[in-house]
Amino acid sequence: MQLTPPLPLKQIAGIIDAEFDGDPAFQVTGINEIHRVEKGDLTFVDHPKYYKKVLDSVATTVIINKKMSSPNGKALIFSDDPFRDFVFLIKQFRSFEQASAMISPTAIIGQGTVVQPGAFIGNNVIIGKNCLIHANASIYDHSIIGDNVIIHSGAVLGADAFYFKRRPDYHDKLESCGRVIIEDNVEIGANTTIDKGVSGDTTIGKGSKLDNLIQIGHDTIIGKNCLFAAQVGVAGCVNIEDDVILWGQVGVQKDLTIGKGAVVLGQSGIAKSLKGNTTYFGSPVQDAKAKMKELAIMKRLPEIIEKLSEKE
């Protein structure tokens, strides 16, 4: 989430009543959790295991639960609970805004776009030209949709990220302040759900087609001309490059990359990054030809075992 205008370090620290190390005028240009940070962003870290990763990232302001000197080019804000204070800042800069109508008066809808009865268009949504939004689709606040997009009934764009911190007796929610961005010529099937970024953008690339009953997690970036069949589930912070095909019921773990032109056959499970221009199958996935040979051998196991027993 970008801050417009940027704010000085002293003002940000003052909002959460925290001490800081750095130039009071140091500029904070955005707020992002670690997976999608950019230069100028504020992020947080609350476990020693991740100190190095966060402090070495491009984020330039860090809320941290350990007193130390700021690394070169960065500023630190000290907190006994960085997660709590990060959420507090999100609520200050992008709080929930109750809808006043089925189509918000702040929504911008392009020429030639048709919004069928019963569709919900939230606050500050931008929809391009010649789109078709079917009945009972829901487009949450701040979503951006390009030209020539089709969104079928029951689809939900911009629901909150599934992101929680485990507390001793409950799960503490990281409030979402990101967006969903749908580029030109995308089609989104019935009852498909695309979660907004925690603090960045979940993006569906130009020309990609999503079938019915698909789940796309927060901060995932899908490339151009991808094809996803029904019941595909993609976790958060996944990078899917152009021309990828995921067939029915493929499951994708979080925080990995699927290379350009990869094809994953139905009911496969993806637990690690995949190189492009290869067909995969299985759970966990492997090269489809190798997996098919393995299955053929497994089918013959009773016969092989019987022959070995006869030799004994």
Q: Which of the four pLDDT bands, split at 50, 70 and 90, describes residue 312?
A: low
134, 142, 152, 218: which one is catalytic? 218
Q: What is the largest CA-CA distance in the chain?
A: 83
Taking residues 43-53, what's their average pLDDT? 96
What residue has token string 């959460």?
A: 16
Beta-bridge partner residues of 78: 19, 64
Q: What is the CA radius of gyration of the chain?
A: 23
pTM summary value: 0.93
Tell me what the pLDDT averaged over the chain comes to: 96
Return the CATH class of domain 108-286. mainly beta
Confidence of residue 263 (pLDDT cuts 50, 70, 90): very high
Separation of alpha carbons 174 and 128, rounded Å:
30
Q: Which amino acid is at 297?
A: I
Q: Each residue of 217-249: pLDDT tens digit?
A: 999 999 999 999 999 999 999 999 999 999 999
Structure confidence by residue, pLDDT tens digits, 156-199: 999 999 999 999 999 999 999 999 999 999 999 999 999 999 99
**How many C-alpha atoms does 54 have within 13 Å on its Cβ side?**
24
Determine what percent of the chain is predicted with pLDDT higher than 90. 91
Which of these, 160, 222, 162, 228, lies nearest to 189 by C-alpha position?
228
Residue 304 pLDDT > 80: no
Q: Which CATH superfamily is domain 2-93 in?
A: MurE/MurF, N-terminal domain (3.40.1390.10)
Q: Do residues 55 and 44 make contact, with C-beta atoms less than 8 angstroms apart?
A: no
| 152 catalytic per annotation | no
pLDDT at 270 over 70: yes
| Per-residue confidence (pLDDT) for residue 157, from 0 to 100 | 98
| Domain limits, the chain | 2-93, 108-286
Nearest C-alpha neighbor of 280 from the set 270, 288, 269? 288
Residue 118 CB coordination number (10 Å): 13
Q: What whole-number distance in Å separates Cα of residue 50 and Cα of residue 259?
A: 27
Extract the tokens encoding 199.
Answer: 């603090």
The Cβ of residue 234 has, within 10 Å, a number of other Cβ atoms equal to 26
pLDDT, tens digit (0-9, with 9 covering 90-100), for 91-120: 999 999 999 999 999 999 999 999 999 999
